[in-house]
């Protein structure tokens, strides 16, 4: 992977991390289109730069994250994180195998797109408008939806937003809870990926650590803009445009696989 390719992937990550269109799926496809070999460093890179994008949430919502008088906020995030933590430990090898499959991404794109076309009609009753009203069972249930995002192409953002809306959260609050939950999730995923990389006997080659640092920085800066734009969009529009995009993107990917352009 060249420096230019790494920056392109980081930009893709920053744009797509908080949109319900799957950042992991878009990075896998970007790598496939650019012909990047999916070696161990690339796999590590595609996980770790998500942390850079996620940290933009801490900056934009720093008042909430560092308001230690509201400990229940942190407990809710821990409760919601538990399902992903368990599944991540139990099925990490199978998840890694799926990360190399553009076909899985395409199918997940289309399936998720169909769901997004109808989500606003199905979950039209929004009773919860404030984080204080999100009780622990609701937080846990949303965390169960996040487990679905371990399938590349599903989208962690889409899964948790759908879970939030199923639990009667407004679109805006469901999106914000999804952002907050991403912080412990991606910190844990990054630490585990780095640990597995080291335990497997791999080491960073010259230039790879600076590349990882710059990738995180680029993803962070791009995500700062993406979050604000997404929240403004949700206050005025529904999810149908993302559903249409996912279905079209999934169909294009299947055609490219059929033509042998990506594998």
Q: Which pLDDT belongs to residue 98?
A: 66
Length of the chain in terms of residues written: 263
What secondary structure does DSSP assign to 146-174, as a single string?
HHGGGSTTS-HHHHHHHHHHHTTB-HHHH
Around Cβ 2, how many Cβ atoms within 10 Å? 10
Quote the tokens at residue 109. 């794109």
Q: What span, in angstroms and rounded, lies between the C-alpha atoms of 21 and 112? A: 8
Residues 7 and 217 sit within 8 Å (Cβ to Cβ): no
Q: What is the pLDDT of residues 22-72, one digit of tens each?
A: 898 899 888 888 988 878 899 899 999 999 999 998 998 888 888 887 889
Q: pLDDT-based confidence at 161, cuts 50/70/90?
A: very high
Q: Where are the chain's structural domains?
A: 3-258
Q: What is the pLDDT of residues 213-257, one digit of tens each?
A: 999 999 999 999 898 888 888 878 888 999 999 999 999 999 988
pTM for this structure?
0.89
């Amino acid at each position: 992977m060249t420096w230019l390719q790494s920056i392109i992937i980081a930009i893709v990550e920053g744009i797509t991390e908080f949109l319900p269109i799957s950042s992991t799926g878009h990075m896998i496809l970007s790598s496939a289109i650019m012909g990047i070999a999916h070696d161990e460093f690339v796999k590590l890179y595609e996980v770790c730069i998500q942390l850079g994008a996620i940290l933009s949430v801490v900056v934009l919502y720093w008042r909430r994250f560092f308001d230690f008088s509201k400990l229940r906020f942190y407990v809710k995030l821990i409760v919601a994180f538990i399902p992903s933590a368990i599944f991540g430990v139990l099925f990490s090898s199978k998840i890694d195998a799926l990360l190399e499959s553009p076909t899985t991404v395409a199918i997940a794109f289309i399936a998720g797109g169909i769901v997004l076309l109808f989500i606003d009609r199905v979950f039209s009753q929004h009773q919860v408008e404030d984080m204080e009203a999100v009780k622990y069972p609701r937080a846990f249930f949303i965390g169960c939806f996040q487990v679905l995002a371990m399938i590349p192409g599903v989208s962690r953002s889409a899964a948790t937003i759908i879970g939030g809306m199923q639990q009667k959260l407004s679109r805006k609050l469901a999106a914000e809870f999804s952002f907050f939950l991403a912080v412990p999730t991606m910190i844990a995923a990054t630490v585990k990926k780095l640990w597995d990389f080291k335990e497997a006997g791999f080491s960073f080659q010259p230039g790879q650590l600076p590349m990882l640092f710059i990738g995180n920085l680029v993803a962070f800066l791009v995500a700062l803009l993406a979050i604000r734009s997404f929240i403004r969009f949700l206050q005025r529009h529904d999810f149908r445009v993302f559903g249409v995009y996912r279905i079209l993107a999934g169909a294009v990917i299947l055609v490219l696989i059929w033509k042998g352009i990506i594998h």
